[in-house]
Amino acid sequence: MDKTIDCVVCGSCVADVLVRPLRLDAPVGRGNTLVVEPIELATGGIVGNAGIAMRRLGMRVAALGYVGDDHWGRFLRERLAAEAIDVRCLKNHARAATTTAVALIDPDGERSFAYDPGATDQLDRTLLLDGLDLFARSRMALIGYYSLLPRLESDLPEILGAIRERGCRTALDAAGSGGSMRPLDAILPHLDVYVPSLGEARHQTGRRDPRAIVEVYRDHGAEGLLGVKLGSRGAMLSPASGEYAAIDPVPPPGAVVDTTGAGDCFYAGLLTGLLRDLPLAEAGRLAAACGALSTTAKGATTALGSYDEIARLAGVA
C-alpha cells in the first residue's frame, strides 16, 4: 500500500488552558485573586503537541483518538485541521467529555497540571485495530502516553505487532510518573523507538544512570532506538545494544516561558529526522532544537516554525 502519511499520532488529545505566571512553591490559598497574563487556550497531549510539531516540520500527519462531542472537542478538531492534520479518524466518544487540563506555569516555565482524563481514558484496542488500514498507509505510528492509557496498555503488544505487520514503524511516549515496567516489558519488543524522560525512565526501571536505564529496556527485549530525554542537558540515544550517542542541548533562542510539551516536540523532531533519513546525531540535534524552541512561548507549538528554521537552530544541513 502506498505510504501517503508520514506519521499517525495516536492517543492523548487535550484542550490545554494555560495560566502564567503562578508560583508553584507556595500555596494559592483561599479567597485570593491572582493576577496573571492573558489566559490562553491551546491544543495539547501527544496528538496536539507532537502532531502539530511534525506538521510544521513538513511531515504528513494523521490524528487517531477520542474527543468528546462538546465545545472542547470541536476546538481541537478545528485547530488540528487548520494545521493540515488529517482528523478524519479523530472520533467523538459517545459518553466521555474531551480531555482537558489547566497548566499552571511558574515564572521559570515549569508547570503543574489540573487534569481531567476524559475521552483519552476510553482509548481501547477496538479503536486502533479498526484503524489498521490507516497505519498501513503510514511510515510511522507514535502512541502516547504510556501510563495514562488504562484501557489500552495491556493490549499494546498485540496492537503494535499488527501495526508493524502493515509496514509501519512504531514509537511510544510516556507521561505522568512514567508507570511501571509492567506491561512495558511486554511492549518494548514491539517498538522501533522509545525515548522517555529521565524522570519517567527512573520510575519505570529503578535506575538513575541513562545507560543503565537503557540496558534494563534491552534486557526486556527492546531492539529498536532507545534513549532518555535529559531536559536542559540534552539526551542520550542508543541505536543498538552497547551503542550510545550523547545529544548536546540546543540553547533556547529566547527566555524560557513554558516547558509544557517540550518533550513531545523533542519526539516530533527526532521522528522527523529519522523519517528524513538524517544521521542519528543530526536527528537528535533536530529533536533538541524543537524541544528548546518550544519553551520560548506559552503552549507547546506556538514558537515552532518551519523545518528550515528549526534545522538552522539545530545546525543541521
SS (H, E, C) 94-137: CCCCCEEEEEEECCCCCEEEEEECHHHHHCCHHHHHCCHHHHHC
All 3 cell numbers of residue 241? 545494544
pLDDT digits (tens, 9 = 90+) for 243-293: 999 999 999 999 999 999 999 999 999 999 999 999 999 999 999 999 999
pLDDT of residue 100: 98
138-151 pLDDT, tens per residue? 999 999 999 999 99
Q: At what angle do helices 198-205 and 210-219 cross, to 10 degrees?
A: 50
Give the per-residue pLDDT at 266: 98
- Report whether pLDDT(24) > 80: yes
Which residue in 152, 204, 155, 195 sits closest to 177, CA to CA?
204
* Calpha distance 48→122 (Å, rounded): 18
Summarize the confidence of residues 40-54 as an average pLDDT: 97
Phi, psi at residue 121, to the nearest 5°? -65, -15
**Which domains, ranges and CATH numbers included, belong to the chain?**
5-23+38-308 (3.40.1190.20)
- Does 28 have pLDDT greater than 90? no
The pTM of the full predicted model, rounded to 2 decimals, is 0.96
Write out pLDDT tens, residues 63-119.
999 999 999 999 999 999 999 999 999 999 999 999 999 999 999 999 999 999 999
Q: At what angle do helices 71-82 and 45-56 cross, to 10 degrees?
A: 20
Say what the alpha-carbon torsion angle 147, 204, 233, 283 is, to the nearest 10 degrees. Answer: -70
Kind plus residue range of the DSSP H or E element containing 178:
none
> What are residue 64's DSSP bridge partners?
10, 89
Question: Residue 8 phi/psi, 5° resolution?
Answer: -90, 120
Q: Which three cell numbers stand for residue 225?
A: 532506538
